[in-house]
Amino acid sequence: VLLTFCFIACQSAMAGEQTVKLTVPGVSERAQQQGSTILNDIDGVSNVATNPEKHTATVTYDTKKSNPEAIKKALAEGGFPVEGELEIIK
């Protein structure tokens, strides 16, 4: 019982805020604002930083409200498909 409680408590503590970096080839300087708007419209996203020179987007989100798959899907639906694997920053 104690192990189960510790497992649940540890998972709850790990839930919260997470930051990921995605490679988004379509994020150019011209499309930077549109890509940021798409990401900021996702429930739980608290911070977005795009780098048009490196074609990346760094997104901080609440793990209780969103997840990397939802972020990737929203970008793809907005015309900005993600390439490769995402990098978990924190």
Looking at the chain, the whole-number percentage of residues with pLDDT higher than 90 is 54
CA 30 remoteness from chain centre: 21
- Residue 14 has a CB neighbour count (10 Å cut-off) of 9
Query: What is the structure's pLDDT at 76?
Result: 93
What is the pLDDT, as a whole number, of residue 9?
Answer: 40
Using CA atoms, how far apart are residues 16 and 28, in angstroms rounded to an integer?
30
Measured from the Cβ of residue 73, the count of other Cβ atoms closer than 10 Å reads: 14
Count, residues in the chain: 90
Q: pLDDT digits over 18-56, tens only?
A: 999 999 987 776 677 788 889 999 999 999 998 888 999
Instruction: Specify whether the backbone of 84 is left (phi greater than 0), alpha (psi in -120 to 50) or beta.
Output: left
